Amino acid sequence: MGFGILIGILMDMVTRAQAWKKLNELLDNQNLVRHCLAVEAAMADYAERFGVSEEAKEQWKVAGLIHDADWEKYPDEHPAVIVKWLEEEGADPKVINAVASHGFEFGAEPESQMAHAIRACDEITGLITAVALVKGRDLSAVKVQSVRKKMKKKDFAAGVNRGDVVRGAEEIGLDLDEHIGNVLVSMQRVSEDLGL
């Protein structure tokens, strides 16, 4: 048993290593894996920005990484399957709530800053990825204004809910351009992992 897993068991939380293992058990689609990595990166940076403890920062990262783990195999039950797994593993209640409420339509109310942050990061990472793809898979070429411009085109990345993007920024108290810029920088930091 790894040291990180042992610490997680003793502290009654799910470690990143456990979340990564579960994510890879459930997801075959590498684009979904990359999406989860993008949300994890944004969550790590927002945890830092909001001044949470190092222990809490790890839990923010776990929430971001694991949030869509059940989407591919259990789309009709998402996120209930991964929420149940988190409960069974003794995850931090804030992680459980963040994953349960990461979609505005899921019916679960966010109960923490972590939960509001994941709602803010989820959809915008998809839009930023789509912009990077049209720029030759070059995340470094993406600018806030190019994301805003593409956001206005309803047929571009049609699966991204623009209302959720705007509402997410509002929930964490940031101007939309600032939020897009923050998430863009987070994703650029892990661009190699994202294939961008």
Band of the pLDDT at 47, cuts 50, 70, 90?
very high
Q: Is 151:77 a contact under the CB 8 Å cutoff? A: no
Question: What is the distance between the alpha carbons of residues 66 and 61, in angstroms, rounded to a whole number?
Answer: 9
Whole-angstrom Cα distance, residue 31 to residue 37? 10
Domain count along the chain? 1
Look at residues 98, 174, 179, 55 and name the one whose alpha carbon lies nearest to residue 187.
179
pLDDT digits (tens, 9 = 90+) for 142-162: 999 999 999 999 999 999 999
Percent of the chain with pLDDT over 90: 93
C-alpha angle 117/34/38, rounded to 5°? 25
Look at residue 7 and tell me whether its pLDDT is greater than 70: no
Domain containing 52 equals 3-194
pLDDT in tens, 82-131: 999 999 999 999 999 999 999 999 999 999 999 999 999 999 999 999 99
- Where does residue 9 fall: left (phi above 0), alpha (psi -120 to 50 degrees), or beta otherwise? alpha
Q: What is the pLDDT of residue 3?
A: 42
The pTM of this model reads: 0.93
pLDDT value at position 12?
A: 63
The pLDDT of residue 77 is 96
Residue 25 predicted with pLDDT over 60: yes
